[in-house]
């Protein structure tokens, strides 16, 4: 996936919160490009991603929401894209779906702080509806453009295990032919030898129409995530 080298924001720079401020802050990054990280670690990756303009999603969003967690986490969890709250806070997995994910981990005795949490797409895509911003699915081209950052995060963290939440994340990791409905909750081996599995996105659980359906979906989601207890015990 080719990228063009451009300059990156200085270390410790905070991401400007409006498109106009961002354009003034990162004027040197041409449209359609991703900056090259200035170093090898996660910090350099995060700083470079903050100035990414590889697709158009950076324009209306507040900021790049990069991954968060220990630099040497044994488990990387990949969600789909940031939501409204994550976009405003600049942090992944803090909205309603993220909280449901954390609840499931808690019930399984897994410490969420030991995981590296990220998304397949790093900017929030939405449609304004009155005062609300309604989540919109990134196009395949936008997903492909952003794959660069996920690849780099996994190559930098070097986890033993990758967990995908939802179809966008699963296709980003396993490829377009992966069927979430048929293959969720089963270990797969990636080309680099890492183990990985996919499960539903917690927002799908939350979208179930009734209490009973939601509870059933939640139990299935948590049962899939229980595969992680074996990884946790092995540590």
Per CB under 6 A, the list member of 15, 62, 63, 64 interacting with ligand SF4 is 64
Smallest distance, ligand SF4 to C-beta of residue 215, A: 34
Q: Single out the residue of 42, 44, 48, 52 in contact with ligand SF4 (rule: CB under 6 A).
A: 52
Beta carbon of residue 147, minimum distance to ligand SF4 (angstroms, whole number):
8
Among candidates 156, 79, 166, which has minimal Cα distance to 117? 79
101 forms part of the interface with ligand SF4 (CB under 6 A): no
Nearer to ligand SF4, 62 or 199 (CB): 62
What CA–CA distances, in Å, run from 41 to 120, 153, 160, 197?
Answer: 19, 9, 18, 25
d(CA 8, CA 34): 9
For 93, 207, 221, the CA distances from 185, given in Å and listed in that order, are 20, 20, 8
Among 48, 57, 73, 164, binds ligand SF4 (CB under 6 A): 57
Residue with smaller CB distance to ligand SF4, 52 or 75: 52
First to last CA, the chain: 34
What's the closest the beta carbon of residue 224 comes to ligand SF4, in angstroms?
27
8 A C-beta contact, residue 102 and residue 112 = yes
Residues 102-161 that bind ligand SF4 (CB under 6 A): 121-123, 142, 145-146, 149
Number of residues that bind ligand SF4 (CB under 6 A): 16
- Going from the C-alpha of 16 to that of each of 70, 129, 143, the distances in angstroms are 25, 24, 23
For 233, the token pair is: 């015990």
Look up residue 49 and give its two tokens: 């991603």
State the minimum distance, in angstroms, from the CB of residue 22 to ligand SF4: 11
Least distance from ligand SF4 to the Cβ atom of residue 82, Å:
10
Neighbours of 181 (CB within 10 A): 7
Applying the rule CB under 6 A, the residues between 7 and 46 that interact with ligand SF4 are: 34
Interface residues with ligand SF4 (CB under 6 A) are 34, 49, 52-55, 57-58, 64, 121-123, 142, 145-146, 149
């Amino acid at each position: 996936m080719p990228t063009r080298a451009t300059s990156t924001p200085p270390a410790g720079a905070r991401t400007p919160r409006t498109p106009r401020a961002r354009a003034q802050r990162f004027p040197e990054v041409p449209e359609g490009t991703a900056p090259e990280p200035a170093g090898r670690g996660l910090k350099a990756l995060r700083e470079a991603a903050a100035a990414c303009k590889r697709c158009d999603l950076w324009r209306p969003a507040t900021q790049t929401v990069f991954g968060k967690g220990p630099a040497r986490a044994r488990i990387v969890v990949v969600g789909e894209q940031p939501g409204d709250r994550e976009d405003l806070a600049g942090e992944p997995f803090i909205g309603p779906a993220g909280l449901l994910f954390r609840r499931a981990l808690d019930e399984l005795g897994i410490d969420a702080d030991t995981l590296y949490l990220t998304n397949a797409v790093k900017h929030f895509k939405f449609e304004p509806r009155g005062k609300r911003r309604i989540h919109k699915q990134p196009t395949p081209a936008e997903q492909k453009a952003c794959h660069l950052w996920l690849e780099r995060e996994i190559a930098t963290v070097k986890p033993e295990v990758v967990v995908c939440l939802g179809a966008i994340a699963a296709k980003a990791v396993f490829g377009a032919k992966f069927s979430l409905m048929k293959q969720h909750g089963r270990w797969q081996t990636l080309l680099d030898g890492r183990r990985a599995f996919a499960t539903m996105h917690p927002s799908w659980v939350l979208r179930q129409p009734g209490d009973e359906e939601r509870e059933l979906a939640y139990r299935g989601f948590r049962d899939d995530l229980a595969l992680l207890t074996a990884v946790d015990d092995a540590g």
